[in-house]
C-alpha cells in the first residue's frame, strides 16, 4: 500500500514520463511503460549502475553510489540504486 | 678451335711415395735498413687518435595483431528470470512479481528510494540547474581593453624618373610625390585597393609628374598589381560595386574614364573633353541601376553630370548647382564631394567649396526643383560627406576645423559637432559596423576615431600616422581595416581593435536615442530663434525710428566692431592657453577641465558671433 502510494506520487509529479522498479537480476517488477522498452532500459541501466557503483568504490572503498542522473537532450533519467533493487524515473525537466 | 692442354706421366711413376728431407735454413733475401730514407719522414707529435664506442643496436619489427571490429546489434530479451519460471508465460511472471512485491525488503527499499527520488524530481521541477547564468555579463567584461589600432601595411610607390632627358647624364634624384587623393576597396574580398594619385596643388604641374594610378594587392605591397594610365592624373577612383572588374575614374582635367581590369591599364573609354567637366572631378560614384553601368560625377565647375559608361561621349543628365534655382552656371557652387546612398536611389547630396551642403532629388520634374534643400555647414569647403549606414537621415560633414553631424530635418544647424581643432580636417567617414563611431583625418597627419557614445569632446583614439597631411580615408566593409592616404602618396593600412569594430549591446538604440535627442534640441532652439526673430521684426516695424537709428550704424563701423570683438576673443583664448600651460605642473586634471571649459566658452562665443554676424547681415 505504501509502495503503491509512493510510486503513484512520483508518477504524478510534473514532467515525469515513466517510473520503473528493477530487481538485482534485471527483472522489471513494476513499470509504467510497455514491456520491450522496459526490458531495454532495465538491461542497459542495470549494467551502467553496476559500473558506476564499482567506479565510485574503486576510487574510495568507503564510498558508495547513492544516485545516478543522466541528462540528455530530450529528458533526464534518474536511477536510485539499492542493494537489491533499482528505482528508475524518466522525467522531462521543464524549462 | 679448341685449346687443349695435355698432361702426360709415365704410368710407372704413379703412386710413388714422397720422401721428405730436412734442409738447413737459407737466407734468401737480406734487406738492410737504410737510415737515409728516414730523413724524408717527419716525426709526428702529437698524434691524434680516435676511439669510438657505440652501443650495438639491433632492428626489430613488431606488428600487433589486428583487431577486427564489427558492428552488431543487441536484441534485449528478458533474462534473469529464475530457472523455474518461463518468461513467456504471463501467469508465472505475474505470480513471481506479486511474490516479490510482498517481501518486506522490497517495501522498505522502495519507500526509501522513493523519498530520495522525489527529492530529485522536485529539484528538477524547481530550477533548471544547467541554466546559463551570467552568460551575457561575461561578455561585457571582455571589452576592458583600451581602443587601439595597429598598422598592418604601408604602401609607398617609388617612382623612377622615366621622362629624364637622354642628354643629361645624371638622373633627377627628386621623386615627384603625388597625393593619394582617393582610395577605393575592392568590393568582394577587400584584398585589393585602388588608389588615385594626383597633385592637387594649384597649377603645379611638374612636367615630370607621372599620371599613373595604381591598384595594389595587399599581399604584395611592393609592386602595384595593375597600373592605370589615364591621360590626366586621376583625382577620384571607384570600383563598381556590382562588377568588381570595372572602375571609373575622374580626371584632373575634368574627363571621366573607365577601366576594365581584365583589359589592362589603358582606359576602355574616355569621355569627350567638350562635354566633360571643366575642373577636376572630385567626386565620382556608381549608381544603383539594373545595368550596373551608371555613375555620376561632380566637380568644382558647379555641375553634376550623370553618365552611362557604355556611352561616355555625352552625359545622360546635367544638373547645375545653383542654389538660387535658376540654373545659371555663373551662380553655381563648386562641388567638392558627392554622397549617394544605395538605399535611397533618388536622393543624393553634394558638398560644395563654399561650405554649403546641397541635398538633391534626382527625380524632380524640372531642374530648379532638383535642389531640395541646403545646409550651411562649414566655413570652408566640405571635404567629406557621409550618411550613417544605420540611420540614413543622419549624415556627417567634414570641413574646415570641425566635423559635424546633421539630421536631415534640422536645416539650420548641425545636431552635434566636434570642437574646433588646431588643423584642418581633410576627410571623414562612418564606421560600417557601429552606428556611433566615425573616423576623421587631419592636416597634421593624425587619424581620429570618435565614439560619441563613449566620449564626446575628444576622439576616443587619436593616432599620428605620418608627418605629412593625410588626404583621404576609406574604411573596409568589415569595419576593421582602414586605409589612409597621405599627401606624399603613402597609403597606410591600420587594423583597429575589436572594441571599436564590434557592435556593442544596445548600441543601435543608444545611438538612435542620442540622435533623436539632439535633433529635438536643435528643433527647439530653431523654434525659439524663429520666435525671437519674429518678435524683433514686429518690434522693429512698430517702433520705426528707434530701430532705424540702430540700423543706421554704417557698415564700416559694424565691421570695425566685429573685428575688435574677434581679436578680443582670440586674445582671451591665447591668454588662457598660456595660463593653462603655466599651470601644467598643477596636474593634468585641472588643465583638462580648464581647456574643456575654455573650449566650451569659445564654442559658445563663436556661434554667438556667427549669429551676430547673421543679424547684422540681415539688418
Tell me which of B155 and B551 has the higher pLDDT: B155
pLDDT of amino acid B416: 81
Contact state of B114 with A10 under an 8 Å Cβ cutoff = yes
Nearest CB neighbour to B128, from listed A26, A40, A93: A93
The rounded percent of chain B whose pLDDT value lies above 70 is 80
Other beta carbons less than 10 A from residue B516's beta carbon: 14
CA dihedral B415, B420, B423, B425 (to 10 degrees): 0
* Closest CA–CA distance from residue B109 to any residue of chain A (Å): 7
The stretch A69-80 carries a mean pLDDT of 88
- State the pLDDT confidence band at A95, using cuts at 50, 70 and 90: low
Torsional class of B43: left (φ above 0), alpha (ψ -120 to 50), beta (otherwise): beta
pLDDT in tens, B552-604: 556 777 788 888 888 888 888 888 888 887 776 566 555 555 555 655 555 55
Which residues on B lie below 8 Å from A66 (Cβ)? 116
Q: Say how far apart CA B619 and CA B606 lie, in whole Å.
A: 20
Stretch 432-471 of chain B: residues touching chain A, C-beta under 8 Å: none
Sign of CA dihedral B157, B162, B164, B168: positive
* Closest CA–CA distance from residue A47 to any residue of chain B (Å): 13
Residue B618's closest CA among B550, B520, B519, B523?
B550
Which residues on A lie below 8 Å from B96 (Cβ)? 27
Which residues on A lie below 8 Å from B76 (Cβ)? 36, 39-40, 43-44
Other beta carbons less than 10 A from residue B344's beta carbon: 13
Which residues on A lie below 8 Å from B106 (Cβ)? 3, 29, 84-85
Contact state of A89 with B117 under an 8 Å Cβ cutoff = yes
Q: Say how far apart CA B477 and CA B239 lie, in whole Å.
A: 13
Size (chain A), residues: 95
Q: Say how far apart CA B439 and CA B403 lie, in whole Å.
A: 10
Q: Say how far apart CA A80 and CA A76 lie, in whole Å.
A: 13
Nearest CB neighbour to B125, from listed A15, A66, A71: A15
Report the b/e string of B76-97 with b at 16+ CB within 10 A.
eebeebeeeeeeeeeeebeebb
B466 by Cβ neighbours in 10 Å (0-12 / 13-18 / 19+) ranks as middle
The pTM of this model reads 0.53
Residue B278's closest CA among B294, B297, B295?
B297
Contact state of A2 with B107 under an 8 Å Cβ cutoff = yes
Contact state of B101 with A36 under an 8 Å Cβ cutoff = no
Report if residue B562 sits inside a domain: no
pLDDT in tens, B380-408: 888 888 888 888 788 888 888 888 888 88
Q: Round the CA-based radius of gyration of chain B to a whole number and report it.
A: 45
Joined grid coordinates for residue B316:
545622360
- State the pLDDT confidence band at A53, using cuts at 50, 70 and 90: very high
Other beta carbons less than 10 A from residue B500's beta carbon: 23
Stretch 106-135 of chain B: residues touching chain A, C-beta under 8 Å: 106-107, 109-118, 120-122, 124-125, 128, 130-131
Sign of CA dihedral B266, B267, B269, B274: negative
Assembly ipTM: 0.78
pLDDT of amino acid A52: 93
- DSSP string covering B333-373, please? PPEEEEEE-TTSTTEEEEEETTSEEEEEETT-SSHHHHEEE
Strands B294-299 and B281-286, sheet pairing: antiparallel
Mutate to test the interface with A, among B74, B76, B94 (most CBs of A within 10 A): B76
- DSSP string covering B575-616, please? HHHHHHHHGGGG-HHHHHHHHHHHHHHHHHHHHHHHHHHHHH
User: DSSP state, B65?
Assistant: P
Nearest CB neighbour to A91, from listed B76, B110, B124: B124
Residue B237's closest CA among B273, B179, B282?
B282
* Closest CA–CA distance from residue B72 to any residue of chain A (Å): 16
* Closest CA–CA distance from residue B435 to any residue of chain A (Å): 36
Q: Say how far apart CA B612 and CA B618 lie, in whole Å.
A: 10
Contact state of B100 with A29 under an 8 Å Cβ cutoff = yes
Report if residue B128 sits inside a domain: no
The continuous run of DSSP H or E covering B93 comes out as helix B90-102
Q: Say how far apart CA B290 and CA B254 lie, in whole Å.
A: 27
Report if residue B205 sits inside a domain: yes
Contact state of A82 with B80 under an 8 Å Cβ cutoff = no
Nearest CB neighbour to B80, from listed A2, A27, A71: A27
Report if residue B226 sits inside a domain: yes
**DSSP SS3 for A73:** coil
Which residues on A lie below 8 Å from B104 (Cβ)? none
**DSSP SS3 for B226:** strand
Sign of CA dihedral B444, B449, B453, B454: negative
pLDDT in tens, B216-250: 887 777 777 888 888 888 888 888 888 888 888 88
Contact state of A89 with B121 under an 8 Å Cβ cutoff = yes
Q: Round the CA-based radius of gyration of chain A to a whole number and report it.
A: 14
Q: What are the angstrom distances between the C-alpha of B579 and each of B571, B576, B600?
A: 12, 5, 17
Report if residue B306 sits inside a domain: yes
Stretch 78-107 of chain B: residues touching chain A, C-beta under 8 Å: 78-81, 96-97, 100-101, 105-107
Contact state of A30 with B109 under an 8 Å Cβ cutoff = no
Report if residue B186 sits inside a domain: yes
Which chain A residue is nearest to residue B106, measuring alpha carbons?
A: A85
Please give the domain boundaries of chain A with CATH numbers for all domains. 1-91 (3.30.450.30)
Contact state of B120 with A40 under an 8 Å Cβ cutoff = no
Joined grid coordinates for residue B342:
544605395
Torsional class of B383: left (φ above 0), alpha (ψ -120 to 50), beta (otherwise): alpha
Which residues on A lie below 8 Å from B133 (Cβ)? none
Tell whether the model's pLDDT for residue B614 goes beyond 60.
Answer: no
Nearest CB neighbour to B117, from listed A29, A30, A87: A87
Full residue range of the structural domain in which residue B397 is found: 149-521
Report if residue B584 sits inside a domain: no
Q: Say how far apart CA B439 and CA B427 lie, in whole Å.
A: 8
The stretch B530-534 carries a mean pLDDT of 88
The rounded percent of chain A whose pLDDT value lies above 90 is 26
Q: Which residue has the cell 720422401?
A: B19
Which residues on B lie below 8 Å from A13 (Cβ)? 118, 121-122, 125
- State the pLDDT confidence band at B325, using cuts at 50, 70 and 90: low
User: Do A11 and A32 touch, CB atoms closer than 8 A?
Assistant: yes
Q: How many domains does chain B have?
A: 1
* Closest CA–CA distance from residue A18 to any residue of chain B (Å): 12
Residue B179's closest CA among B191, B194, B197?
B197
Other beta carbons less than 10 A from residue A39's beta carbon: 21
Q: What is the mean pLDDT of chain B?
A: 77
Which residues on A lie below 8 Å from B118 (Cβ)? 9-10, 13
- Partners of residue B320 on adjacent β-strands: B303
Which residues on B lie below 8 Å from A16 (Cβ)? 121
User: DSSP state, B64?
Assistant: P
Contacts for B210 with CB less than 8 Å, ≥ 6 apart: B159, B162, B163, B176, B178
pLDDT of amino acid B590: 57
Tell whether the model's pLDDT for residue B175 goes beyond 60.
Answer: no
- State the pLDDT confidence band at A49, using cuts at 50, 70 and 90: very high
Tell whether the model's pLDDT for residue B484 goes beyond 50.
Answer: yes
Report if residue B218 sits inside a domain: yes
* Closest CA–CA distance from residue A17 to any residue of chain B (Å): 11
Question: In this structure, what CATH number is given to the domain that contains residue B172?
Answer: 2.130.10.10
Residue B471's closest CA among B505, B432, B441, B437?
B441
Q: Which residue has the cell 595594389?
A: B216
pLDDT in tens, B69-121: 778 777 766 666 777 767 677 788 888 888 888 888 888 888 888 888 888 88
Contact state of A78 with B128 under an 8 Å Cβ cutoff = no
- DSSP string covering B449-515, please? EEETTT-SSS-SEEEE--SSPEEEEEE-TTSSEEEEEETTS-EEEEEE-HHHHSPPTTHHHHHHHHH
User: Do B262 and B242 touch, CB atoms closer than 8 A?
Assistant: no
Nearest CB neighbour to B117, from listed A10, A14, A15: A10
Amino acid at each position: 500500500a505504501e509502495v503503491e502510494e509512493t510510486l503513484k506520487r512520483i508518477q504524478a509529479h510534473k514532467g515525469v514520463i515513466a517510473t520503473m522498479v528493477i530487481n538485482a537480476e534485471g527483472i522489471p517488477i513494476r513499470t509504467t511503460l510497455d514491456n520491450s522498452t522496459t526490458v531495454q532500459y532495465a538491461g542497459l541501466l542495470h549494467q551502467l549502475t553496476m559500473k558506476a557503483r564499482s567506479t565510485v568504490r574503486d576510487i574510495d572503498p568507503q564510498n558508495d553510489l547513492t544516485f545516478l542522473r543522466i541528462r540528455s537532450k530530450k529528458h533526464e533519467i534518474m536511477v536510485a540504486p539499492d542493494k537489491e533493487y533499482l528505482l528508475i524515473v524518466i522525467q522531462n525537466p521543464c524549462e | 678451335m679448341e685449346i687443349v692442354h695435355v698432361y702426360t706421366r709415365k704410368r710407372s711413376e704413379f703412386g710413388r711415395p714422397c720422401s721428405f728431407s730436412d734442409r738447413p735454413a737459407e737466407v734468401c733475401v737480406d734487406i738492410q735498413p737504410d737510415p737515409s730514407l728516414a730523413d724524408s719522414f717527419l716525426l709526428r707529435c702529437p698524434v691524434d687518435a680516435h676511439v669510438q664506442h657505440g652501443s650495438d643496436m639491433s632492428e626489430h619489427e613488431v606488428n600487433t595483431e589486428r583487431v577486427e571490429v564489427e558492428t552488431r546489434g543487441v536484441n534485449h530479451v528478458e533474462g534473469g528470470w529464475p530457472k523455474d519460471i518461463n518468461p513467456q508465460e504471463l501467469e508465472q511472471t505475474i505470480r513471481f512479481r506479486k511474490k516479490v512485491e510482498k517481501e518486506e525488503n522490497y517495501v522498505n527499499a522502495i519507500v526509501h528510494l522513493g523519498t530520495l527520488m522525489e527529492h530529485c524530481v522536485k529539484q528538477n521541477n524547481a530550477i533548471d540547474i544547467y541554466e546559463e547564468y551570467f552568460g551575457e555579463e561575461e561578455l561585457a567584461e571582455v571589452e576592458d581593453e583600451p581602443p587601439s589600432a595597429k598598422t598592418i601595411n604601408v604602401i609607398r610607390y617609388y617612382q623612377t624618373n622615366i621622362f629624364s632627358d637622354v642628354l643629361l647624364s645624371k638622373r633627377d634624384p627628386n621623386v615627384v610625390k603625388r597625393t593619394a587623393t582617393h582610395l577605393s576597396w575592392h568590393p568582394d574580398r577587400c584584398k585589393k585597393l585602388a588608389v588615385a594619385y594626383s597633385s592637387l596643388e594649384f597649377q603645379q604641374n611638374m612636367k615630370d609628374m607621372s599620371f599613373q594610378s595604381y591598384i595594389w594587392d595587399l599581399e604584395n605591397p611592393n609592386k602595384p598589381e595593375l597600373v592605370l594610365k589615364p591621360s590626366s592624373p586621376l583625382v577620384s577612383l571607384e570600383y563598381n560595386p556590382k562588377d568588381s572588374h570595372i572602375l571609373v575614374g575622374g580626371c584632373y582635367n575634368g574627363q571621366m574614364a573607365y577601366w576594365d581590369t581584365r583589359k589592362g591599364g589603358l582606359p576602355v573609354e574616355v569621355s569627350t573633353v567638350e562635354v566633360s567637366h571643366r575642373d577636376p572631378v572630385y567626386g565620382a560614384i556608381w549608381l544603383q541601376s539594373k545595368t550596373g553601368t551608371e555613375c555620376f560625377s561632380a566637380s568644382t565647375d558647379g555641375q553634376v553630370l550623370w553618365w552611362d559608361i557604355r556611352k561616355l561621349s555625352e552625359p545622360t543628365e546635367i544638373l547645375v548647382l545653383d542654389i538660387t534655382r535658376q540654373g545659371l552656371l555663373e551662380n553655381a557652387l563648386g562641388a567638392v564631394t558627392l554622397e549617394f546612398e544605395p538605399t535611397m536611389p533618388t536622393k543624393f547630396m553634394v558638398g560644395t567649396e563654399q561650405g554649403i551642403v546641397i541635398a538633391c532629388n534626382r527625380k524632380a520634374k524640372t531642374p530648379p526643383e532638383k535642389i531640395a534643400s541646403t545646409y550651411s555647414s562649414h566655413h570652408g569647403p566640405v571635404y567629406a560627406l557621409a550618411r550613417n549606414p544605420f540611420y540614413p537621415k543622419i549624415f556627417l560633414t567634414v570641413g574646415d576645423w570641425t566635423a559635424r553631424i546633421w539630421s536631415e530635418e534640422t536645416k539650420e544647424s548641425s545636431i552635434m559637432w566636434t570642437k574646433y581643432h588646431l588643423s584642418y580636417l581633410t576627410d571623414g567617414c562612418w564606421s560600417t559596423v557601429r552606428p556611433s563611431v566615425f573616423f576623421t583625418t587631419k592636416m597634421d597627419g593624425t587619424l581620429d576615431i570618435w565614439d560619441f557614445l563613449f566620449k564626446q569632446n575628444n576622439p576616443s583614439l587619436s593616432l599620428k600616422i605620418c608627418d605629412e597631411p593625410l588626404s583621404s580615408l576609406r574604411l573596409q566593409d568589415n569595419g576593421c581595416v582602414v586605409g589612409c592616404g597621405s599627401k606624399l602618396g603613402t597609403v597606410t593600412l591600420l587594423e583597429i581593435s575589436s572594441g571599436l569594430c564590434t557592435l556593442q549591446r544596445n548600441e543601435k538604440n543608444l545611438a538612435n536615442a542620442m540622435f533623436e535627442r539632439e535633433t529635438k534640441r536643435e528643433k527647439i532652439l530653431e523654434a525659439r530663434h524663429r520666435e525671437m526673430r519674429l518678435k524683433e521684426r514686429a518690434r522693429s516695424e512698430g517702433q520705426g525710428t528707434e530701430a532705424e537709428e540702430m540700423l543706421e550704424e554704417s557698415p564700416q563701423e559694424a565691421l570695425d566692431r566685429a573685428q575688435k570683438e574677434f581679436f578680443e576673443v582670440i586674445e582671451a583664448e591665447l591668454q588662457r592657453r598660456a595660463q593653462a600651460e603655466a599651470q601644467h605642473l598643477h596636474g593634468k586634471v585641472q588643465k583638462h577641465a580648464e581647456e574643456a571649459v575654455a573650449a566650451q566658452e569659445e564654442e559658445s562665443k563663436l556661434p554667438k558671433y556667427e549669429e551676430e554676424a547673421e543679424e547684422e547681415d540681415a539688418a
